[in-house]
Amino acid sequence: MKRDPTLPMLIAGAIILLAVGPFLPRWAMFLINVSLCYGIVVLGMLLLMRTGVVSFGHGLYYCLGAYAAGTLDQVFKISDMAVMLVAAVIVTALASAALGLLLRKYRDIFFAMLSLAFSMILYGLLVKTSALGSSDGFNVAASKIASITVAGTSVDRYVRYALTVVFAFIAGVFMHKYLNSHMGRLAEAIRDNELRVEYMGASVRNVIHVNYVISAVLAGVGGALAAIAVGHIDPEMAYWTTSGEFVFVGILAGTGSMLAPFLGAFIFETIRSFAYEYSPNTWQMALGITMLVVIMFLPGGLWSLFTRKRKAA
């Protein structure tokens, strides 16, 4: 029996990223930071995709996590990154637990459109809320980590980067363990045949509900980390185009491994950044061409390249 290389690869990846961080230029550190934030969100979507449902509204929880972190500083003057992340987890867990009671009843396009509708409702509310900056949003001042002030110091940028790396590693390990548990293994069984899973005695709706909450919490953590890294949040984080980007990355990466979302997010951010830099009027076309190439030649996502090589070997 072959040993699963996922955990060793996650550990090696985290160690390498933490080690090279201080030597990276600012633009590269920021690019990796944002990519990991997106990767955490898509990691949660991977769980839903394996269950047989796709959310077109995960920008809802990405935005909720960011605003939960940002309003702590804006309203309560709490700028500790650790507290911000805890707030993001609590808010997204409660919201997804409530909405999941409705969404777990639906499948296919109905699930996708309902999730999108909730995301756009949040977008509309935030745009009309002047206390939270309306359409402009507001800046997030995350100046402390575990009560230690880092803002204005030489390690400020690296601390934010390292925090994202650590949480991406934790999310990857958690998802790997979960998918190998009894509840996690039911995900693919539900996608293949819901009726058979019900006959086995498992509740399909409960499994989808739990998976939806886990996916939402990961999206909220990704949003909070993005708010801390960028230092600004706005309602566009809940807009349908943001949710579409997560779906794009999910299709680009594939669902073959816990590492796939991070690889897909890094490639997506790299293509978008350089395309926007050198061709600001046609950068969307570059992303569209990339999507077409992947769908035509790699329908299983970029990670299928590694599985093909493994099978050939």
pLDDT in the model for residue 38:
95
Cβ-contact 186, 179 below 8 angstroms: no
> Is 284 within the bounds of a domain?
no
CA triplet 142, 143, 145: central angle to 5 degrees? 90
> Is 309 within the bounds of a domain?
no
147: left (phi over 0), alpha (psi -120 to 50) or beta: left
- CA separation (Å) from 5 to 172, 241, 242? 13, 34, 32
> Is 313 within the bounds of a domain?
no
> Is 70 within the bounds of a domain?
yes
Looking at the DSSP assignment, which residues form a beta bridge with residue 286?
A: none
Hey, which bits of the chain come out as E strands?
A: 138-139, 144-145, 148-149, 232-233
The answer, yes or no, to whether residue 275 has pLDDT greater than 60, is yes
For the entire predicted model, the pTM comes to 0.92
pLDDT in the model for residue 306:
67
Average pLDDT of span 45-61:
91
> Is 105 within the bounds of a domain?
yes
Provide the number of structural domains found in the chain. 1
The answer, yes or no, to whether residue 198 has pLDDT greater than 70, is yes
Grade residue 312 by pLDDT with cuts at 50, 70 and 90.
low
Cβ-contact 140, 202 below 8 angstroms: no
Query: Residue 93 and residue 235: Cα distance in Å, rounded?
Result: 20
**3-state secondary structure at position 80:** strand
Higher pLDDT: 152 or 118? It is 118
> Is 170 within the bounds of a domain?
yes
Average pLDDT of span 131-138:
89
The tokens 């363990």 sit on which residue?
177
pLDDT in the model for residue 17:
95
> Is 186 within the bounds of a domain?
yes
CA triplet 106, 108, 111: central angle to 5 degrees? 45
Query: Residue 221 and residue 230: Cα distance in Å, rounded?
Result: 14
Average pLDDT of span 307-312:
56
Signed CA dihedral, 224, 225, 230, 236: sign only: negative
Range of the domain at 161: 6-238
> Is 261 within the bounds of a domain?
no
